[in-house]
Amino acid sequence: MTYEIQHYTICDGWVNTWSIEHHDGRVEPETFDSYEDAAAALDEFFAEIVDEIVTGQRQPDEGYDRDEFRIVKAGAS
């Protein structure tokens, strides 16, 4: 069983907007082997956003709300 991080979008509702690019150029939705792996990736994403705000690469109002994201079994809607 794999998990994905979904982002709530106004146009499409909950979708997996995370992707991974392989060395051969293929791009596919990113999935995780466990809920914990997905949660760790989401935590890392938010930590990077905070770092970008602190260093001035991103404005304080250019972040995300954690409520916009959820972790579900891959393929769930």
**Domain definitions of the chain by residue range:** 3-73
Beta bridge partners of 5: 71
Tokens at 7, concatenated: 């982002």
Backbone dihedral angles phi then psi of residue 10, each to the nearest 5 degrees = -65, -40
CA distances, 37 to each of 43, 61, 62 (Å):
10, 28, 25
pLDDT at 26 over 90: yes
Q: pLDDT-derived band of residue 54, with 50, 70 and 90 as boundaries? A: very high
Please check whether residue 15 is in contact with residue 9, taking contact to mean a CB–CB distance below 8 angstroms.
Answer: yes
Q: What is the pLDDT of residue 60?
A: 87
pLDDT of residue 75: 77
**Other C-beta atoms lying within 10 Å of the C-beta of residue 61:** 6
